[in-house]
Amino acid sequence: MDQNLLNEICLRQLTLSGVHEGETVAVLSEGAERLDYADAFLYAARRLGASAYHLRLPAPTTASGAWAVGASELAANPQAVEALKQADMLVDLKFLLFSKEQFAIQEAGTRILTAVEPAPLLARLMPTPELRERVEVGAELLGKAGAMRITSPGGTDVTYRLGVYPTMSEYGYTDQPGRWDHWPAAFVFTGGADDGVDGRIVLSPGDVLLPFNTYVQTPVTLTVEQGFITDIRGGLDAELLSSYIRSFDDPRGYGMSHVGWGLDERAHWHGLTQFPGGMGMELRSFYGNVMFSIGPNNELGGPNDTPCHFDIPMRGCSLFLDDEPVVVDGDVVVPEMRPAGRR
């Protein structure tokens, strides 16, 4: 993307994120990645009267070969972590999520925005206060619920016991101390009790496997008992899923993690065909998807910090909170969560 355009969208982002005179914005990158983003955020922060600096970590020396979350070069740089704790806002261009360092920086009151997706996607899914409002309506509903049930025409019927973990919202910008968000994003989630997820999940063709960044081709049946997957059945997709989880040699990789739904009507289900190299934020956000995930729940304050993590947005599901419908056949049915033109 043209640098001027990138500067412009980063200025809109930091404006939404409430950056103002007297604040300090730190930009974190790694190796040679996204240096153009770093320049754009520095420009934007200065334009808004904040002071800004760029902290660049060395490229990792080992390639994990997998999307192992939670590992960060910051772990070897405690002085850098201390510096970032002093900033009002950290723009994370390297993906710190699930790392101890990210949690420590948030606890110090620094708000964090992750921006790692392709620039054209950042521009197209620019966050808005209107979308934030609808996401926050969802978060409030979810936060009050005691149970979630998800069903699908393919045979999914799974129940999550809620109330143990907090509800999180992602709407693509962040203006509150200590809060993290990811640009672009529009979804809500929480986690079931550690032993409180039971039933069957049937992945249907077109459901999305992140981080494989692929669409399911053949049905996959997952049996879930007391918060853990106990059986994975199906064709090639089931074998790939099983093989990947098994490779971590960690029973916690079978744990049930966050669960929720997406709210951005601008996000395309077919997004992976447009941006195959991204992290899949468009797929997490597309309107009416029901997304569950496997692996760590430490982001929600839970004990599972396995590096084995899947996010699986599904189409055409129904989701009920305490038996009240929220998503029906892939459509959001709560008027306040629907776009203004569709109420």
Contact residues for Fe ion, defined by CB under 5 A: 293, 311
Q: Which is nearer to Fe ion, 7 or 169 (by Cβ)?
A: 169
Q: Which is nearer to Fe ion, 88 or 311 (by Cβ)?
A: 311
Q: Which is nearer to Fe ion, 170 or 311 (by Cβ)?
A: 311
Structure tokens at 315: 């189409």
Nearest approach in angstroms of CB 309 to Fe ion is: 6
Identify the helix (H) or strand (E) that includes residue 25: strand 24-30
Contact yes or no for 83/24 (Cβ under 8 A): no
Nearest approach in angstroms of CB 166 to Fe ion is: 15
Nearest approach in angstroms of CB 98 to Fe ion is: 9
What is the distance between the alpha carbons of residues 75 and 73, in angstroms, rounded to a whole number?
5
Nearest approach in angstroms of CB 167 to Fe ion is: 15
Contact yes or no for 206/315 (Cβ under 8 A): yes
What residue type is 158 in one-letter code? V
Show the CA angle centred on residue 56, arms to residues 54 and 57, nearest 5°: 150
What is the distance between the alpha carbons of residues 208 and 276, in angstroms, rounded to a whole number?
12
Structure letter (DSSP) for residue 297: -
Name the residue number minimizing CB distance to Fe ion: 311
Q: Which is nearer to Fe ion, 7 or 257 (by Cβ)?
A: 257
Nearest approach in angstroms of CB 81 to Fe ion is: 23
Give me the sign of the Cα torsion angle 299, 304, 307, 309: negative
Q: What radius of gyration, in Å, describes the C-alpha atoms of the chain?
A: 19
Q: Which is nearer to Fe ion, 14 or 112 (by Cβ)?
A: 112
